[in-house]
Chain A
Amino acid sequence: EVQLVESGGGLVKPGGSLRLSCAASGFTFSSYSMNWVRQAPGKGLEWVSSISSSSSYIYYADSVKGRFTISRDNAKNSLYLQMNSLRAEDTAVYYCASDIVGATPGDYWGQGTLVTVSS
């Protein structure tokens, strides 16, 4: 059974940093691309970033480019999102999602971790 478990969310001040983690199990993590998708409170879904299986290809939404960094450690079956220069509009539930079937921002999703940016 595919399981994705996010952690690392919390309250941070504007301009601050936070690192999210996602622990994967139940599939061959090193073979598939992974994504981060976020959802602001009461709002829709927004794709944030993607990373290929070997980390060779990395992509970001314009809204986070230059501030967020996605990475993965295939030996630890883990995905990460380093978030710097956080803004109030980054407040959201952040979901880790796998791309096993291909060409989707997520086929299996974690339960999400809430990031709140507020002074």
Chain B
Amino acid sequence: QSALTQPASVSGSPGQSITISCTGTSSDVGSYNLVSWYQQHPGKAPKLMIYEVSKRPSGVSNRFSGSKSGNTASLTISGLQAEDEADYYCCSYAGSSTFAFGTGTKVTVL
């Protein structure tokens, strides 16, 4: 259950698009299409933004999209808005009914 690797920080101006990477291994991200992404504002509980690599739960803006290639998953936020400033965590099923989270990425809207 090793942590997946994310960049510590990503920034962008309002209206721009940013992409957050999430690198795992062939035992987790690379083996399963079960990557999810969470948004967490300070002092708040995480919120599910993407599940099964690219599916959006009801109510989540279509500005958020997910993808995967090999052992790396990605979250793209298009049309960046001030309210998108938060911490983002990826998560992958890691086999044997366990999950591995990413190290987290702080998104700053300039």
Contact = CB atoms under 8 A, between A and B. Distances in A.
Interface of A: 37, 44-47, 50, 57, 59, 61-63, 95, 101-112
A106 B52 CA distance: 12
Which of A46, A102, A103, A111 has the most CB atoms of chain B within a 10 A radius of its CB?
Answer: A103
Contacts of B98: 47, 59, 61
Contact of A110 (B45, B48, B97): B45
Given A47-B1, A47-B101, 17 more contacts: A44-B89, A44-B103, A45-B40, A45-B91, A45-B101, A46-B101, A59-B96, A101-B52, A101-B57, A102-B51, A104-B91, A105-B36, A105-B91, A105-B101, A106-B48, A110-B45, A112-B45
B47 A44 contact: no
Q: Which 7 A-B pairs have CB atoms at the shortest separation, nearest pair first? A: A109-B45, A47-B99, A59-B97, A44-B104, A105-B99, A45-B101, A104-B36
Interface in B74-110: 89, 91, 93, 96-104
Contacts of A50: 97, 99
Nearest to B104: A44
Interface of B: 1, 3, 34, 36, 38, 40, 45-48, 51-52, 55, 57, 89, 91, 93, 96-104
Which of B96, B99, B103 has the most CB atoms of chain A within a 10 A radius of its CB?
Answer: B99
B51 A45 contact: no
Contacts of B104: 44-45
A114 B101 CA distance: 20
Nearest to B50: A104
A100 B59 CA distance: 15
10 contacts: A45-B89, A45-B91, A47-B98, A47-B99, A61-B1, A61-B98, A101-B52, A102-B51, A105-B91, A111-B45
Contacts of B96: 59
Q: Say what secondary structure dominates the interface of chain A.
A: loop
A20 B96 CA distance: 25
Contacts of B36: 104-105
Contacts of A101: 48, 51-52, 55, 57
Nearest to A95: B45
